[in-house]
Structure 1
């Protein structure tokens, strides 16, 4: 974990008087005290792997013109974005940009010019792979989720006739890209996103983006290529999410949604919104998770994909459950089950959602039941998910963690620790931060039983994978 201190600040090239008037104005508008800003920056940084100890004196120095090093300007912008209810960048707050920062800000925006989107994706991928400016530490910015939703839904309303489903072209570049997507999917399911992430990013930014930048491709194949590129960008987002790089996940998914507009693919657009919903809910913003899922439902309705709608209703249920809204979560799960019943099978569905099935819904429902404290239902659905997904190691690891929590909620400590130990063993072959977080959730729930020898032994064994107990 990187450590940042006040001593690492440097002069920022002061303007008249040296004061940072832009930061002062934002603090005043947000009604945010110096101490509160410092505290929130420290908390957000720790959640994203940066250990800092800023205080109100630090904020005073920023207002006097000093510039924090590393990713602290992005953290300050993320905190104030949340307080203001709109996205603000470090530049908006009077901070100079170091190398690599401009693309991290541009990638949060759903841009009008698709040529600029392609340029942004290529630069983001290049910077990501080379790891310049610690790009992986850029923060998740909940306030920046509003712009992509709004722009996407407005386009959908304005150009409804253009959003008609098309088949996948046979032969040529589109078929090649789909073959690569299938390979990446298989590797992701087997080993987790952390093991395949760099390959996805490299292929998207160095192979597929240049294909889209070439002139002369006929309109129909071009649309299909844009849709395939959007899927790859979403996969780059998911694999970044799985690697614990949440800010990158948000940026790749946002740019993927913009490419999807060029591909005119409503089913895929809904699935990208489902991914953003999952990200928001798991990062402590289930209200945004529900809003994104609802935007996805509005997108996918009438697109002929019950399985796509099933996933979106499941994401809405996850957001409601995380907020403790039992009635709303139950209704969303009921709607998800209804869409699953309506599906005529994967062969009749979009290629993007054919992996979704009854067992997927069971796994998501188990997480909802866990969060709502419905232990018996969580145990049943997690057990069914385990028996049906023997070849999906990440889902196995997550479902085992949920099952362990269900046992603990029913005061069956021996079974809980035994099941959690099996989940820990599974994590030895899966590079998945989502799986790790599910097991950390279980470990946190062990706190009242920490005096038990078997709990102490589990905590000792898990330390290498889950980190030290907070």
Structure 2
């Protein structure tokens, strides 16, 4: 008889996920109230069911189909690994494969999300991100396998699925407000729940539409996880999103996900990876594809060129010009919700990022000031155009202006702008904001440590970071 040494709420939740039952159906099977099951799942490791319930759970596991027992054991193994010091190394081996069936892809995502929901964040934050050849190999494999002609899902009238699509839009606006990272697990819980529905095969059109929702949720989970500082875990969600994109035939969404991955590579300082990924993504988006996707990728390519030094400045400028040119070709109907943020302000900030990096890396002062002048103009263009709902983006616009002032050798003004951005951030808990603040404060302190405002900024950022880390501990 297969038994668990001591059942906890977390174990019960993993069994329910393995059986692919709703809370109500699982409670009915066990002969308890749905509230009892919900309490177990909410308290996780902190609750142990009664001895009678321990025996009932053992019986439920024993009577479960073999595939469900396999899913349960896999979840236990993953979570157990995450709870040990060796977790990052073990989980690092669990990179998803793109050469799997739709059913296996759904199971991979369901098991991974269930493990994330059950595990402590502190044990997962050290998961190592891929870089260099292993990362590039994964992305090129996906590009080779994804359908060359996007699959167009038919009109399916299921109200439940339409409501799920609306929920994804809601989660995106939640994130745009700057507070998405605090509610990361709400998105992952929704992703896990939607993936469970993929076990019910209901026709090709519906399958594609479901996988599209899963891909969009996995992409958003990746971004929110990145914004909470767990880079390796974020990368796994992006790879799972690509897995779902392949099943949905969502080529353009997949290219956008690769663009998100370049931002992660850039944050890690792997600029060669960023350039390779953007070029791979651009190669799979057809010329007649969504101009907003291509425009963003060109902007990311421009920044990657700029970060590789003055020898790449010409390529960076050409990519910036192409970014604007392609953006202007977008028609109103091409503003799909998963790239809702790609507006004029975003194009301006992509250009500003590239010119700022060129200015900071240019050894010839006059040429550096020319780059800084372009960066300043584009930064003000972004600030003037930014919509009111994008709270985090408005803070990043201010920090970007501070970096422009650094490039213009105006340390006092740069530090003052940084302090105002810090005040504007308030209680926002965003790893991206913290990294950008450090990206301004550190070079300012290195070059102009004797300027009083610079010292104040460095101290304030140092105090802000621990508070952010504490606020994200349980997301």
Category of TM-score, reference length = shorter chain: 0.7 to 0.9
Aligned position for 2:221:
236
2:98 to 110, 113, 129: 110
Q: 1:167/1:327 Cα in 2 relative to 1: closer, same or farther (>3 Å)?
A: farther
Contact 2:412 2:454 (C-alpha < 8 Å) held by counterparts: no
Tell me which residue corresponds to 1:273: 258
Cα displacement (A) at 1:263: 0.4
Is 2:196 the counterpart of 1:210? yes
Does 2:373 align with 1:376? Answer: yes
Instruction: Please report the TM-score for the alignment, with normalisation by the length of structure 2.
Output: 0.72
Q: Is the partner of 1:107 in helix, strand or coil?
A: coil
Identify if the C-alpha distance between structure 1 residues 283 and 193 changes in structure 2 by more than 3 Å, giving closer, same or farther: farther
Partner of 1:145: 135
Inter-CA distance 169–349: structure 2 relative to 1 (3 Å threshold):
farther
Equivalent residues of 2:143, 2:280 under 8 A apart: yes
Moved over 6 A (4+): none
Match of 1:155 in 2: 145
Structure 2: distance between partners of 1:378 and 1:323: 17
- 2:291 is the counterpart of 1:306: yes
CA distance in structure 2 between the aligned counterparts of 1:234 and 1:379, rounded to whole angstroms? 31
**Alignment counterpart, residue 121 of structure 1, candidates 87, 105, 109:** 109
- Structure 1 residues 97 and 191 mapped into 2: Cα distance closer, same or farther (>3 Å)? closer
Does the 8 A contact of 1:270 with 1:296 survive in 2? yes
Contact 1:314 1:361 in 2 (8 A): yes
Q: Which has the higher contact order (CA 8 A, sep 6+)?
A: 2
Are 2:442 and 2:458, in contact at CA under 8 Å, matched by a contact in 1?
no
Aligned to 2:118: 130
3-state secondary structure, aligned to 1:338:
helix
Shift of 1:103: 4.9
Aligned to 2:167: 180
Measured in 1, the distance between the counterparts of 2:376 and 2:393 equals 15
SS of the residue corresponding to residue 342 of structure 1 reads coil
Cα deviation digits, residues 347-377 of structure 1 (max 9, x gap)? 3444433431111111122111111112222
Deviations 1:324-369 (A, max 9, x none): 2211111111111111111122x34444334311111111221111
Unpaired runs of 5+ in structure 2? 1-83, 360-370, 468-475
Deviation at 1:250, TM superposition (A): 0.7
Cross-structure match for 2:463: 464
Q: Deviations over 1:401-429 (max 9, x none)?
A: 11011112223233212211111112224
Structure 1 segment 382-397 matched on structure 2, within 5 A: 382-389=379-386, 390-397=388-395
Aligned counterpart in structure 2 of residue 344 of structure 1, from 325, 331, 340: 331
Once residues 200 and 89 of structure 2 are traced to their aligned partners in structure 1, the CA distance between those partners, rounded to angstroms, is 27
Instruction: Give matches, 1:36-435, under 5 Å.
Output: 103-132=91-120, 134-142=123-131, 143-156=133-146, 159-161=147-149, 163-166=150-153, 169-205=156-192, 207-215=193-201, 217-302=202-287, 304-324=289-309, 325-345=312-332, 347-373=333-359, 374-389=371-386, 390-435=388-433
Secondary structure at the aligned position of 1:304 is classed as: coil
| Offset at residue 170 of structure 1 (A) | 4.4
Contact 2:242–2:257, Cα closer than 8 Å, also in 1: yes
The answer as to whether partners of 2:87 and 2:127 remain within 8 angstroms in 1 is no
Q: Is the 8 A contact 1:191 1:430 kept in 2?
A: yes
- Alignment CA distance shift 1:340-1:109 (3 Å): same
Alignment CA distance shift 1:383-1:274 (3 Å)? same
Question: Do the aligned partners of 1:104 and 1:124 also contact (CA within 8 Å) in 2?
Answer: no
Which runs of 5 or more residues in structure 1 are unaligned? 1-95
Between the aligned partners of 1:443 and 1:340, the Cα distance in structure 2 is: 33
Q: Deviations over 1:428-448 (max 9, x none)?
A: 243221121111111112122
* RMSD after superposition: 2.3
What TM-score do the two structures reach when normalised by structure 1? 0.73
The question of whether the paired residues in 1 share the 8 Å contact of 2:223 and 2:260 is answered with: yes
Q: Secondary structure at the match of 1:106?
A: coil
**2:87, 2:124 within 8 Å by CA — same for their partners in 1?**
no
Instruction: Tell whether the 8 Å contact from 1:193 to 1:243 is kept in structure 2 after alignment.
Output: no
Matched-pair contact (CA < 8 Å) for 2:151–2:248: no
| Secondary structure class of the residue paired with 1:196 | helix
Rg larger for: 2
C-alpha distance in 2, partners of 1:382/1:200?
32
Equivalent position of 1:14 in the other structure = none
